A = this chain, B = another copy of it.
Amino acid sequence: QSTLTVFGLMDLSVNSVKNGSTTTKSMDTAGLNTSRIGFRGTEDLGGGLLAGFWLEAGVSGDTGGAGGGTGYNSSNASTTGFFNRRSTLSLSGGFGEVRLGRDYTVNFNVSGKFDAFGANGFGNGANLYANKSPFDKSSTATTMGAASALRVNNAVSYFLPKDLGGFYGQVQVGAPEGVAGNGYKGGLFGYAAGPVDVAFSYSQIDVFTSDKLKTTNLGGSYNFGVAKVYALYNQSKYGALKYTTYELSTSVPLGQGEFRASYGKGNAEGGTAAFNNSDATLWGLEYLYNLSKRTAVYAQTGSLKNKGASAMSVGGLGDATGAKSTGYGVGVRHMF
């Protein structure tokens, strides 16, 4: 008897994005949440011990794409696998959980949690450290993806037990297997009780040079009832180079709907004048209406302003070096 569950999510939106002076109309597949399909299950081994697996592929609902090659950024190469979102095997019990495989980094476990947009859409703070950030993994070895370290391969994680009076934590090690930039070590520690949640994470990525890429994330949220407020700080360092982002965001429940807003900025330091000048600011607004627990319609807008050589955008199609990128979109999200 199998406890296997097939699950997923489809999110499709119609967008207009203006990067500098170029406007592109497009369909996107991750406005509210990233589209996905997956298989997961657990087995009760007795004595409080559980085995569990999780295989999850990203889906590009607009084109039928699935799995790697959809542009996920990862501290640990291999974005080409089919189950690019998660591929793990766990043993858990009173001692906590040991989890093996490909999974979110401790960095993203903080930076994604303390963004009201959950790292999706025009206004989400991750746009400030997306593909074209100075610390992007896809650029050169000395500027490898740090704040943007979403996932890690070949990882062993240990999670603290659930019941520690609100405290939670994780340590995570990813085997380099002889590839520069794939050696990952990180930890996360947090506290959640009542309306409060705060967490801190730190990681080092081995780039096989004298220095390592070091990333710090610090976030907190407070639920006032009428609104939940989030604050997030991320910093990546490589030698003297530093890239720091700050974000404030909020979600406001309105009957069956919800309103969300964000403001963030990114600051580059410690490099050439051009590098130091490549700062950026971001704001975003979103309204979603729940047709059911599983299905919602939404409208959103967001704008990112690049300074100097900064070349980021709020949408996936091209960038806006030194200019503004603004997006408008409406969409549907359905969970299954």
Q: List 18 A-B contacts (CB under 8 A).
A: A2-B336, A4-B6, A6-B39, A12-B101, A14-B175, A37-B55, A51-B291, A51-B292, A51-B332, A51-B334, A52-B334, A53-B334, A59-B87, A62-B153, A64-B86, A64-B101, A66-B82, A177-B317
A95 interface contact, C-beta 8 A: no
CB distance from A96 to the nearest CB of B (A): 15
Contact between B177 and A26 (Cβ–Cβ < 8 Å)? yes
Residue in chain B with minimal CB distance to A80 = B65
- Bound CA span A37–B280, Å: 44
Q: Which of B37, B51, B61 touches A39 (beta carbons < 8 Å)?
A: B37
On chain B, the residues within 8 Å of A81 by CB distance are 60, 63-66
The verdict on A66 contacting B64 (CB below 8 Å), with A6-B4, A14-B156, A177-B317 known, is: no
CB distance from A20 to the nearest CB of B (A): 14
On chain B, the residues within 8 Å of A62 by CB distance are 87, 100-102, 153-154
Per-residue interface assignment for chain A, residues 266 to 288, with 1 indicating a CB less than 8 Å from any chain B CB and 0 otherwise:
00000000000000000000000
Q: Which of A41-49, A128-136, A199-207, A300-308 contacts its partner?
A: A41-49
How many residues on chain A are close to B (CB under 8 Å)? 69
The verdict on A39 contacting B291 (CB below 8 Å), with A63-B81, A175-B26 known, is: no
Query: What 10 pairs between A and B have smallest CB-CB spacing?
Result: A64-B81, A66-B82, A65-B81, A64-B87, A27-B154, A64-B83, A12-B100, A64-B102, A63-B78, A10-B89
CB distance from A26 to the nearest CB of B (A): 5
A252 interface contact, C-beta 8 A: no
A67 interface contact, C-beta 8 A: yes
A91 interface contact, C-beta 8 A: yes
On chain B, the residues within 8 Å of A142 by CB distance are none
